[in-house]
Structures are given as structure tokens and as C-alpha cells.
Amino acid sequence: MKKAFMVKSVVLAMVMAGGISSAMAATSGSSSTVQGGTVEFKGSVVDAACAVTADTTNQVVNMGQVKLSAFTGKDSVANQKTPFTIKLADCDTTIASQASVTFDGNAAAGEAGVLDNTSGAGNAAGVGIQIYDKDGSALDLGTASQAVTLIDGDNTLNFSADYYQTADTATAGSVDTTATFNVTYQ
């Protein structure tokens, strides 16, 4: 009797295992694969005193909102400077002891140092963006910033930006512009 019970238990266990296995196979058979997207990898190899960190290579500076009444006329600023940084990593001062940054982009008409508003429809007409050096002096596009003395390791270069009225009349709307930058080591 004990032997018959044991045989029945083994047979029952095998049947249950087969059922579970079949259920798992049925579940596995219902899986599907869908297109998920793409992953793009970008970077560069540099032969320089430092490397620009990934978080500051392509950054967005959120300028926030400013009231139209902040402007007092052509060539006025909103007096709402927004700080941003460019970080340099793994600097070796035996290669170079100083670094400066040159910004470039589409200049507003008649304004060598002001980035033109390129946001398109619904843009704030007569308004651009001015970039400032660490001491608050305005930087012209294509002109190097003040040289910063480097230390071995990591360095942070400080800048700021402000809204700038480029025309006699400014209108409300969005402001969007892009500047490229190069770092010069000396």
C-alpha cells in the first residue's frame, strides 16, 4: 500500500510538472518583440590639456521668463543674468596652464555680441541673448573670454547670459538661440 501510494505520488508529481511546464511554454510562446528605438553615441577624442565634460558639452540654459517691461529700449538688458558653466576634466598643467572660451553663433543684426533669436513663429521680436564673462563683461561672438589659470584635475569656467533688446521695439514671445563654443589652451 505504501509502495502504491509512493508510485501514485511520483506519477502525480510528474503530471503536475508536465502541466506547469506546458503552462510556462504557453506563456513563453505569447511573448513578442517590438521595435524600441535607437541609441546614438556621440563623443570625440581630444589631444589637449583638458577634456570638456559630457554634461557641459551640449547643455540647455533655461533663461526663464522676463517681463517685456524689463527692457528700457534698444541695447538694454533685462538684468536677469542666468549663470552657466563649462567644466573641464583631467586637466594637465604641464601641457597648458590657461584656458579661454570663444562662443559663436548667429549674431543679431548690428549686434556683434548678441545671439539672434531663432525661435521662429511666435518669437519675441527685437530680443536676443548676450553672453557675459566671469567678471560680468559682455563677450562678443568670435572673441575669446578672459584666460583662466588652470589647476591639475577639474576646472569650472563661469559665464552668464541675459536677454538683450536688439531693436527699437521688442515684442513678447519665445526666445531660442544656440551658441557653439571652442576652448583654447595656452
Q: Domain limits of the chain? A: 51-185
Write down the pLDDT at residue 30. Answer: 83
Write down the pLDDT at residue 28. Answer: 55
| Single pTM value for the model | 0.78
Write down the pLDDT at residue 27. Answer: 53
In this predicted model, what pLDDT tens digit does every residue of 150-181 receive, in sequence order? 999 999 999 999 999 999 999 999 999 999 99
In this predicted model, what pLDDT tens digit does every residue of 1-35 receive, in sequence order? 555 544 455 444 554 555 555 445 455 568 888 87
Q: What is the band of 43 on the pLDDT scale with cuts at 50, 70, 90?
A: confident
Q: What is the DSSP string of 76-118?
A: -B-S--EEEEEEEEEE-TTT-SEEEEEEEE-BPTT-TTEE---
Q: Is the pLDDT of residue 52 over 80?
A: yes
**Count of CB atoms situated within 10 Å of the CB of 70:** 15
132: DSSP letter:
E
Candidate CATH numbers 1.20.1260.10, 3.10.20.740, 2.60.40.1090, 3.30.420.40; the one for domain 51-185: 2.60.40.1090
In this predicted model, what pLDDT tens digit does every residue of 125-154 receive, in sequence order? 999 999 999 999 999 999 999 999 999 999
